Amino acid sequence: MRLPAKQAVVDGQESARRFASRPLTWRFMRKRLRFGGLLELSEGDFVSEDRAGYDATHIELLGEAEAVRLRPGMWLGSVGERGLHQAVFGVVEWAVNEVLGGRGERLAVTLHGGGSVRVAVSGASGVPCADDGTGLEELLTSHHPGARRCDRRRVGVGVFGNGPFLTNALSSRLTAEVRRGGTGWVRTFERGVAVGERAPVTGTDGGGDATVIDFRPDGDIFETVVCSYDALAERFRELAFLYGGLDLTLTDARRPDAPRSNRFHFPAGAADFVAFLAGTATAPAPFHFVHDDPRMNGSVEVALKWRHAPGGDHIRTFVNGWATTDGGAHLTGFHEGLRTAVAALADEHRFTPAVTAVVSVKLDHPDLTGATRRTLSGPAVHTCVADAVAEHLRSWDGPGQDQGRGQRDA
């Protein structure tokens, strides 16, 4: 027989209630569900528990780290180089938010031989490392299911936002060290499980407060444990452009004969980003503003330079530090505001508007859609960005003139 999907659910619930009083338990098998269509059931779709031979002994309860290690690709999207970088971003995302939250001053990421990665937050107040599962140990051993915690003050670095827990579970070895007020301790984990007791760290005098996580991705999980310096540098540079208060250093110490290091710190934020994308730091400076709007529970930062070369627009969009490569409400709002401003200036200036621009919104409750969260939804975001772009561009005198008159609103 053929039933609408909703009716099949209702009938299934009723059948479960009728069979609840019987000693025979049923299991639903070989179901076929077409999305948006019908649920097709046949007589053979139900088999008795007696025939299946299925009972509680067939259920295996896995620990949190063990469950991650069993299906790593489900958590990272890949066990190749791309997934390896997501494991690095899990720790870096936490560290970046420590710095931006005022709990640290600088962030340093160092690549060592054998695939080892060291992430250090200097000037950190230190994270508690208690035996009762709070603080740093909870961060490293407990998975918090559901969507990543989002608000305008937090940064999304990787795709999934599982934090250091995921990195710990997929590392053959991880050590976490906290130094605070002249004392310190270190905790060691292997494949996500704590080894031994936490140990005191001596010789911390003069070293300053810091939190350091050193991990070695598991070669039994990943196809490669060699990170791409260029890929990490690109993402870290992007973050430093989007968050002007961030001071991040990436160092490659894998070859002592050819070490390299880059510091990413751009106080002008998106304006520096646009100058970088345009390939020039010469005048006129990018038009730049930051605008808070309670209607969307967040703020929008826009920087742009007019393009005189062929090729059309070059626009990058972001939500809470996360690249929205498929655009969305902030991009359509930017285009609408730009069209409004250009129309108002059309009588005074003849030009074909093509821009290099960065549109970055920071929201308390971003509505990201799609399997990889690359599109931003929300009519309020569209309206607020359009209004802000049109309003601020009204103070502009036209292409080629004082594009640096952008302002920053509190």
Distances, alpha carbon 159 to alpha carbons 93, 367, 371, in Å: 10, 15, 10
pLDDT for res 303: 96
Give residue-wise pLDDT tens across range 271-311. 999 999 988 766 678 899 999 999 999 999 999 998 766 66
236 SS3 class = helix
| More confident call, 221 vs 11 | 221
Top-confidence residue, 111 or 408: 111
Evaluate whether 386 touches 171 at the Cβ level (below 8 Å): no
In the chain, what are the domains? 2-58 (no CATH), 65-264 (3.30.565.10), 270-393 (3.30.230.10)
According to the per-residue pLDDT averaged within each range, which of 22-31, 98-107, 136-145 is highest?
Answer: 98-107
Residue that the structure tokens 């540079």 belong to: 237
- For residue 260, what pLDDT is reported? 95
Query: Is the model more confident about 371 or about 350?
Result: 371
**What pLDDT shows up at residue 369?**
84
Rounded to two decimals, the pTM is: 0.77
Q: Mean pLDDT over residues 225-235, rounded?
A: 96
Q: Rounded to the nearest 5°, which phi and psi values hold at 228? A: -85, 115
pLDDT category at 370 given cuts 50, 70, 90 is confident
Cα first-last separation, the chain: 64
**What is the per-residue pLDDT across 83-116, written as a single tens digit (0 to 9) for each?**
999 999 989 988 998 888 888 889 999 999 999 9
Interatomic CA distance for residues 209 and 186, integer angstroms: 14
- Cβ 162 vs Cβ 191: under 8 Å: no
The rounded mean pLDDT for the chain is 79
Band of pLDDT at residue 20, cut at 50, 70 and 90: very low
pLDDT tens, position by position, 180-214: 877 888 899 999 998 988 888 776 555 678 899 99
User: What does the pLDDT read at residue 7?
Assistant: 54
Residue 351 has what pLDDT? 54
Cis upstream peptide for 353 (omega within 30°): no
Residue pair 375/328 in contact (Cβ under 8 Å)? The answer is yes
Range ranked top by mean pLDDT from 129-138, 150-159, 218-227, 367-376: 218-227
